[in-house]
């Protein structure tokens, strides 16, 4: 009679399953066995992987086609831990244009861009700690993994890609026609941005000017500054604004935080751009010189993937502006770095 596994589960010592870089991830692999099992059959790993994927439509001349319509061409590129796959599907969709006996055809291609990158791959060998053979019954096999402090990106989910971490246990069965068993448990990693302390501590300042009014227009200037470039998610940005409004119009002072994430695969790039925070400041009256402060909370869910992943990169832009009725708004842009520290 072969080995029968009645219970196979992973339990973390930290139920929330949220860890910071350099911490120890520990827990137990719970087994209930009918029969004996050699510990060499059990492997426990902690893995992290970044992956991005998107498709785009391209219209090309039909004479560039290779092969029959309706065929698929797959090109695979391997670069150490990163695998990139491009699939070009040729659809039988043609546009015929006849001009002075010229016959031109165009064809629509769907191009799939795909890339993977291994963030971490740690293996725990329980046979180094526990007896070599487990008898029938229930067993709790402890494990622990030391997370690296270096280039480890934070967990991240998006339409075009993700960064995911998980612990996986694998039992390799030796009996003929017996199927291996696996169980997986996801976890969240919060890692710092890969930026120097000097870069994070550097203040950010910018200014802009314009004239308000078509005839007899008056000058308007806005200067915005923050004490440091680096800020932790969940904290509040304090933005100091200096406004010199010599026009006849009152205007609203506002600030937004945008998140721009770039995805890279097959030499191509896709960007997602979204507004993740907004704050309304005071109204600046006509013919007013004022110093105002805007408080802007940073969401805990903001992406922290700064210089830590080759195929997914996130940056954040602070847009401070004066909303002017009947005229173009005056914007001041500041770059900031978000971290989990």
Same domain, 231 and 168: no
Report yes or no: 289 and 244 within 8 Å, Cβ to Cβ: yes
207 in the same domain as 117:
no
Q: Is the pLDDT confidence value at 175 over 50?
A: yes
Provide the 10 A C-beta neighbour count for residue 114. Answer: 18
- Tell which of 169, 190, 211 closes a domain: 190
Task: Answer with the one of 142, 168, 190 that is the final residue of a domain.
Answer: 190
By CB atoms closer than 10 A (0-12, 13-18, 19+), residue 48 is buried
Per-residue pLDDT for 174 more than 60?
A: yes
| 51 and 185 part of one domain | yes
Asked if the model's pLDDT at residue 75 lies above 50, the reply is no
Into how many domains does the chain fold?
2
Q: 155 and 16 in one domain?
A: yes
Do 180 and 131 lie in one domain? The reply is: yes
Is 314 in the same domain as 184? no
Distance CA 51, CA 115 (A): 6
Q: What is the pTM of this model?
A: 0.81
What residues make up the domain containing 117?
A: 4-190
Residue 168 and residue 63 share a domain: yes
- Shared domain for 255 and 310, answered yes or no, is yes
CATH code for the domain of 86: 2.60.40.640
Same domain, 87 and 212: no
Could you tell me if 98 and 217 lie in one domain?
A: no
Q: What is the pLDDT of residues 151-172, one digit of tens each?
A: 789 999 999 999 999 999 998 8
Question: Is 50 exceeded by the pLDDT of residue 250?
Answer: yes
The residue among 133, 163, 190 that closes a domain is 190
Residues 40 and 162 placed together within one structural domain of the fold? yes
pLDDT (mean) for 234-263: 97
> Which of 48-57, 96-105, 209-218, 242-251 bottoms out in mean pLDDT, i.e. has the lowest?
96-105
- Residue 70 above 50 pLDDT? no
Give the pLDDT confidence score for residue 145 in this predicted structure.
96
Q: How confident is the model at residue 311 (pLDDT cuts 50, 70, 90)?
A: very high
Indicate whether 172 and 72 sit together in one domain.
Answer: yes
């Amino acid at each position: 009679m072969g080995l029968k596994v009645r219970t196979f589960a992973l339990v973390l010592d930290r139920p929330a399953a949220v860890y910071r870089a350099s911490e120890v991830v520990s827990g137990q692999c719970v087994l209930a066995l009918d029969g004996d099992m050699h510990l060499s059959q059990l492997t426990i790993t902690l893995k992290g992987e970044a992956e991005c994927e998107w498709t785009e439509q391209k219209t090309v001349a039909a004479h560039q086609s290779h092969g029959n319509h309706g065929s698929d061409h797959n090109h695979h590129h391997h670069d150490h831990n990163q695998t990139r796959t491009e699939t070009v599907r040729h659809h039988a969709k043609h546009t015929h244009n006849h001009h002075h006996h010229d016959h031109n055809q165009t064809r629509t291609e769907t191009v799939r861009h795909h890339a993977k990158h291994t963030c971490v791959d740690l293996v725990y060998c329980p046979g180094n700690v526990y007896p070599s053979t487990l008898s029938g019954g229930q067993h709790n096999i402890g494990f622990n993994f030391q997370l690296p402090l270096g280039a480890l990106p934070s967990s991240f989910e998006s339409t075009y890609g993700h960064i995911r971490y998980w612990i996986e246990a694998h039992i390799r069965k030796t009996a003929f026609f017996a199927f291996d068993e696996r169980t997986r448990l996801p976890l969240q990693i919060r890692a710092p941005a890969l930026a120097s302390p000097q870069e994070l501590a550097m203040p950010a300042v910018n200014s802009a000017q314009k004239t308000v009014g078509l005839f007899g227009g008056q000058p308007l200037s806005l200067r915005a500054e923050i004490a440091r470039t680096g800020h932790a998610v969940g904290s509040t940005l304090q933005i100091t604004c200096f406004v010199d409004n010599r026009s006849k119009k009152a205007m609203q002072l506002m600030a937004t935080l945008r998140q721009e994430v770039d995805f890279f695969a097959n030499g191509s790039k896709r960007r997602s751009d979204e507004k993740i925070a907004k704050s309304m400041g005071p109204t600046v009256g006509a013919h007013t010189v004022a110093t105002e402060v805007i408080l802007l909370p940073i969401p805990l869910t903001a992406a922290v993937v700064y210089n830590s992943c080759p195929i997914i990169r996130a940056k954040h832009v602070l847009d401070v502006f004066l909303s002017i009725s009947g005229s173009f708004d005056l914007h001041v842009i500041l770059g900031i770095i978000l971290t989990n520290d």
